[in-house]
Structure 1
Amino acid sequence: MLTPGFLFILRGIARIFILSIISLGAGYFIETLLGFTVVPRHLTAVAVALAVPTLIAARITWVYHAQRRRAFALGAAPVPVWSGKWPGSVDLLVFLMGRFERGYPGEGFWEAIEEFGPIFNLRVLWQNTIFTTQPEHIKAILATDFGGYEKGSRFHEIMESVLGTGVFNSDGDMWKFHRSMTRPFFSRDRVTHFDIFERHADDAITAMKSRLRSGYSIDFQDVMSRFTLDSATEFLFGKCVHALQSRLPYPHGMKPAGDTERTQADIFAEAFGEAQYVIAFRSRQGDTWPLFEMFKDATKAPMKIVHAYLNPILREGIERQEKAELEGKVHEGKIDEIDEDETLLDHLVKHTKDLTIIKDEILNIMIAGRDTTAATLTFAIYALAMYPHILKKLRAEVMAKVGPTRRLTYDDIRDMKYLRAFINETLRVFPPVPFNVRDTINETTLSPTTEGGKPSYIPPASIVTYSVFLMHRRTDLWGPDALEFDPDRFLDERLHKYLTPNPFIFLPFNAGPRICLGQQFAYNETSFMLVKLLQNFDSVTLDESAQPPDSRIPPEWANVAGRQSVERFFPKMHLTMYAHKGLWVKMREASSDPSSL
């Protein structure tokens, strides 16, 4: 099987061959008209070699001029270009790739925003790559002009080896099919069923207490990833991977000799995480990504592990449905009715028996249901460690509304205003999906960014990247304290001053027809675990000494403006944000003495 790199080169050779034929044909045509040889035969190859880049350059120049003419014809303005110094702005690509590996999320973009405004064109390798943090633009992309944008063939090709044609990697009828299959399962009575959360939250807290009582710090991100993986797998296909039964990792340099335990759940989770990292890295390499996978598809090995784990479970679900149909236990016209104990897998196999379609959808929902919630909980505990006064206030609400032992209910969640504000502030400052992308289908315009300005012209087949991470931190949208972590902004006059009149400045779950189906599920799971944690622990502190050395904050961050200078963990991102090599914390168990509350 050809690797992505070789396929990329073959396509390039084919294009050059076609251009060479055109060049030769044009040369012979001119010579026929003139009646004599323009280029000596022994120099024909040289002439063709020079003609190919000339034709490419001519085409690029012509396209740019044509796009400028179209912009002016529509009363719009071309998007300002953030240009590099090398041809095709390759140096800009190298810079951004370096920031992706070693920098703070969004690093480099703030300077570009200050220079060009909230929308600009990177135009790396002569491809229009529009970048925006403007809420009106994001609203158009996601909602008001939804039909003018799609995930597109480029995104699909990058993600296909992991996401297949699932709901996050499809457009048109395939997207509608996946969406219609999945939507009924996320009704209120399903996402407020807390038994799954309680079982796995209890397992997580037991594991944390055991390790903390031994005198070690814990990697809270690791625990939350296990908790959400166990919850997600049980919710999705009724078979928990029991990740929380595996031994928790030890702080840097403290792993006992001979401790080499790795379970199937560990192997599955690591492989799934590696595959996600690969496709995220591809997306940042643009059209050149296949060149970095010349000799292998980098997702093949990890996805082989993922498929080996999932396939037997999914086949069992299909066989169970086929048996029910043969026994006459399935009633026509009730395909969207969901029984009390029905899993998403049970629901999907009523729509299709295609193993690939079912697996694609399960994997897509698993990423959404596991990684984003694990990230939110990780950043939430980081905030509680950074701001003890917020922990004290939040815990007081938990004790007042739920008490030290009672299980949280849906009504409790609705009543706990500060808990919801705290989760929203976590999602604002650290949105789990910080960057997203669409392709334009046809030419379009985006609204002016200044009063009296012209709209921005967006050519057809352009890549449009938008960042809620950067939008959530804009002081002109959220006020002068936008970079501070303050849950009260969702409760006091700032809510009515900034968010109420412009709700598209806060988009942790996207918006429009593609809005996250699991939004309420995520709020419920996050709320449930936070309440459980605060019932059991009354103090959280960071243990930076437990971090592996290469995941500690670089000293130069102290000289950078904004949150980067005060951060005490290393946020990074693949498809979602995460703490680089974990978030190591110490937690104090709450006293059973009521007077200590």
Structure 2
Amino acid sequence: MEEEAPPSRLTSRGVTPQIRVFGPMIAPAFGVVLLNVFLGSALGFIWLSSACLLSVVAVLFVRIQIRAMWEWWDARRMGAIRPPRFDGKWPGSIDLLIEQFDAFINDYFGEWFQATMYSVLGTGVFNSDGDMWKFHRSITRPFFSRDRISHFEMLDNYADIALNKMRDRLSSGVSIDFQDVISRFTLDSATDFLFGASVGSLLTDLPYPHHHPSKVAKSSPADDFAAAFAEAQLTIAARNRQGWVWPLIEIFKDRTADPMKVVNAYIDPILQEAVRRAKETSYDQKSLKEVEDDETLLDHLVKHTQDPQVLHDEILNIMIAGRDTTAATLTFVTYFLTMYPSVFTRLRNEVLEHVGPSRRPTYDDIKEMKYLRAVINETLRLYPPVPINVRTTIEAITLPNPDPTGKPFYIPAKAATAYSVFIMHRRKEYWGPDAEEFDPDRFLDHRLHKYLIPNPFIFLPFNAGPRICLGQQFAYNEVSFFLIRLLQRFSSIELDPSAQPPESRPPAEWAKAKSYRKRVEKIFPKLHLTMYSMGGLWVKMSEANEGP
């Protein structure tokens, strides 16, 4: 009864990108070797090597020119024009590449702008297209029904552990890194959701502030797993910035190989055991379509395919979606609550009014809390967890020209087009003159009807169209649930700048920036695959008297 996954178009990890880059060099290099054998001359070898390099450059130059001429002709055929180009002052616009790297490391996010991810994400739902994407989507969709995403018992268990660890550390007068705690919470709940067994990251010690005498916490296998997972994501994010030349940089070693060994050492035995159980079980058509109450996502997936690579890739894709994006959202919501005490007070009052000081919230409670949803949405607007995305054309298309009198822009086939919801969410023509300000009421008052309802595609934290996030409502529920529990337990929250590592504090010159948001920031927002606060989010909180 097993449904086989469609064959992948990529056959081996870490090989295809290098072949694509070095392919044009193979024939000239082989010619150099043969001629050197016949000539037997070191000088000849140098001369021929130089000629080989020049020939490669010439071939690439000719290919670029031919492609440019073809695109110019095809654009004319479609009644369009090619988009404007941004050229640097140096050959190959190397100066722009250097500026981009510097801005990524040192500047505020947003002021710079497939194969890179394959060694980590493989052909999972976020990194695949066509039949493979449809397959992943179809087998995952049933697991995100309302009944599945509103089971809060598991979330409550890990929330309770996280809040207790926060309370214990805070009661000793030491600040906590909220980003670290919430990343542990989402990692443990995500691995429980996926496998039925948590990685157990909440069971280890929390980190201390950089200036604390006990600042070095003991490492554990769970910490190693989380660190390796983050390192792999940082590597593939760097590949995106490096563009097509990244295989040259990693020619001798795949930089994701070592961290993925750590990740796979945890995941692979679980996958193998799930496949073993599945092979010993007979599934009828009813069991394939339905999801049992005690069934994990992995249990559900192995009913449809037992291909270890497909399972591995899908699990990692869902883990990033279920862990990193939720952790980012909760981190930035909490950051805004420290920045805007009036929002914190109003939100906590709503929690106490609808749920009370200790009762576990229900799906209906969350649905009724309009201000809570507005606070989450406003956070997602200013800090979407995935701020940049890329789409690649299957065939040549045109895009509208902002100038109504101009011709549309021509986009050739197989062209990667990046777009940033981070920047779009802050544009005043879409959101009004106060677009850079944090104001949850914009999702409740007249501005909702003025801006968002007439043009819903200005708000895309979960993407849109056929590839809209399957776990959207699950994410809302998890974020809402934890925030309710947090506000039940603690009555105040504030940033602790002294605990923030000095190198992760916003530069002093930001206070003079033209951008309002950049001027008022108290943290340094950064990006790997998802957004995060550089150096953590160090806070102090006061426990509520009426808490559990």
Give your verdict on TM over 0.5: yes
In structure 2, which of residues 188, 198, 207 is the aligned counterpart of residue 230 of structure 1? 188
Which of 71, 84, 103 is the aligned partner of 1:80? 84
**SS of the residue 1:578 aligns to:** strand
- Secondary structure at the counterpart of residue 535 of structure 1: helix
Q: Per-residue deviation at 1:247?
A: 0.5
CA RMSD, 1 decimal: 2.3
Q: Give yes or no for contact 1:430–1:469 (8 Å, CA) kept in 2.
A: yes
Residue 89 of structure 1 aligns to which amino acid in structure 2?
Answer: S
Q: Which residue of 2 aligns with 1:301?
A: 258
- Residue 541 (structure 2) aligns with: 587
- 8 Å CA contact 2:394–2:413 kept in 1: the answer is yes
1:11 deviation in Å?
2.5
Tell me the CA shift for residue 56 of structure 1. 3.7
Report the Cα offset of residue 431 of structure 1: 0.1
Is 1:570 paired with 2:527?
A: no
Q: Do the aligned partners of 1:3 and 1:295 also contact (CA within 8 Å) in 2?
A: no
Tell me which residue corresponds to 1:172: 130
Which residue does the alignment assign to 2:440? Answer: 487
2:199 is the alignment partner of 1:187: no
- What does residue 122 of structure 1 align with? none
Structure 1: distance between partners of 2:340 and 2:288: 49
1:55-82 deviations in Å (ceiling 9; x for gaps): 5434423432332333233222221111
1:203 to 1:51, Cα distance in 2 relative to 1, 3 A: closer
Give matches, 1:172-321, under 5 Å. 172-256=130-214, 260-321=217-278
Residue type of the alignment partner of 2:233: Q
The one-letter amino acid paired with 2:64 is I
Residue equivalent to 1:160: 118
Going from structure 1 to structure 2, the CA distance change for 1:208 and 1:452 (only over 3 Å counts) comes to: same
CA displacement 1:426-453 (0-9 Å, x = unmatched): 0000000000112212111012223333
C-alpha distance in 2 between matches for 1:421 and 1:45: 63
**CA-to-partner distance for each residue in 1:202-257, whole Å, 9 max, x for gaps?**
11100000000011110000000000011101111100111111100000121428
Q: Does 1:422 align with 2:422?
A: no
Whether contact under 8 Å (2:80, 2:398) holds in the other structure is yes
Partners of 1:407 and 1:67 in 2: how far apart? 60
Letter in 2 for 1:528: F
In 1, Cα distance between the equivalents of 2:124 and 2:13?
24
Structural mapping, 1:126-141, within 5 Å: none
> What aligned pairs does 1:44-193 form with structure 2 within 5 A after superposition?
53-108=57-112, 155=114, 157-193=115-151
**Structure 1 residues 185 and 499, CA, compared in 2 at 3 Å: closer, same or farther?**
same
Q: Which position in structure 1 is the counterpart of 2:23?
A: 11
Q: Secondary structure at the match of 1:254?
A: coil
CA shift in 2, pair 1:214/1:178, >3 Å: same
One-letter amino acid of the structure 1 residue matched with residue 25 of structure 2: I
- Structure 1 residues 158, 293: closer, same or farther in 2, change over 3 A? same
C-alpha deviation, 1:184, in angstroms = 0.6
Aligned partner letter, 1:79: P
Structure 2 Cα separation of the partners of residues 339 and 204 of structure 1: 28
SS in 2 for 1:376: helix
Contact 1:8 1:290 (8 Å CA) reproduced = no
- Alignment of 1:386 with 2:339, yes or no, is yes
More displaced stretch, 566-575 vs 439-448: 439-448
1:472 aligned to 425, 430, 433, which one? 425
Counterpart AA for 1:273: A
List gaps (5 residues or longer) in structure 2: 1-11, 33-46
Q: Do the aligned partners of 1:446 and 1:457 also contact (CA within 8 Å) in 2?
A: yes
* Contact 1:19 1:52 (8 Å CA) reproduced: no
**Structure 1 gaps, min length 5:** 21-42, 110-154
Change (3 A) 1:322 1:49: closer
Structure 2 counterpart SS, 1:516: coil
Tell me the CA shift for residue 7 of structure 1. Answer: 5.1
Q: Give percent identity, aligned residues only.
A: 58
TM-score of the superposed pair, with normalisation by structure 1: 0.83
The one-letter code matched in structure 1 to 2:274 is: G
Counterpart of 1:152 in structure 2 is none
- Secondary structure at 1:539's aligned position in 2? strand
Structure 2: which amino acid aligns with 1:588? Answer: S
Q: For residues 128-170 of structure 1, what are the alpha-carbon distances to aligned partners after superposition, in whole Å with 9 as ceiling and x for unaligned? A: xxxxxxxxxxxxxxxxxxxxxxxxxxx1x21111111111111
Q: Distance in 2 between matches of 1:207 and 1:216?
A: 12
How does the TM-score come out when normalised to structure 2?
0.90
Contact preservation (8 Å) 1:475, 1:482: yes
Q: Is the 8 A contact 2:488 2:547 kept in 1?
A: no
Match of 1:446 in 2: 399
| Cα distance in 1, alignment partners of residues 421 and 55 from structure 2 | 44
Pairwise CA distance, 1:497: 0.5
Q: 1:17 to 1:551 in 2, by over 3 A?
A: same
Structure 1 residue aligned with 2:3? none
The Cα shift of 1:565 comes to 1.5
1:377 to 315, 330, 345: 330
Letter in 2 for 1:430: Y
C-alpha distance 46-158 of structure 1, shift in aligned 2 (>3 A): closer
Aligned to 1:502: 455
Asked if 1:405 is matched to 2:352, the reply is no
Whether the aligned pair in 2 keeps the contact of 1:8 and 1:291 (CA below 8 Å) is no
Question: Partner of 1:167: helix, strand, or coil?
Answer: coil
C-alpha displacement of 1:54:
4.3
Q: Partners in 1 of 2:101 and 2:304 — Cα distance?
A: 41
**Residues 1:331 and 1:441: Cα distance change in structure 2 (over 3 Å):** closer
Could you tell me which amino acid in structure 1 is paired with residue 383 of structure 2?
Answer: F
Separation of aligned partners in 2, 1:509 and 1:588? 33
Inter-partner Cα distance in structure 2 for 1:360 and 1:227:
22
Distance 1:395 1:45, change over 3 A: closer
Check conservation: 1:378, 1:583, Cα contact below 8 A: yes
Cα distance in structure 1, aligned partners of 2:131 and 2:318? 18
C-alpha separation between the residues in 2 aligned to 1:355 and 1:62?
A: 42
Residue 313 of structure 2: aligned partner: 360
1:261 maps to amino acid: K
Cα pair distance change 1:201/1:50, threshold 3 Å: closer
Q: Per the alignment, do residues 407 and 51 of structure 1 end up closer, same or farther by CA in structure 2, a change over 3 Å counting? A: closer
Count residues in correspondence.
521
Deviation at 1:50, TM superposition (A): 5.7
Cα deviation 1:254-300 (Å, max 9, x = unaligned): 1428x551111111111111111111111111001122223311000
Letter in 1 for 2:266: Y
Q: CA deviation at 1:549?
A: 1.6
Question: 1:60 and 1:579, CA in 2 relative to 1: closer, same or farther beyond 3 A?
Answer: same
The CA deviation at 1:17 is 5.7
Indicate the SS of the match to 1:166: coil
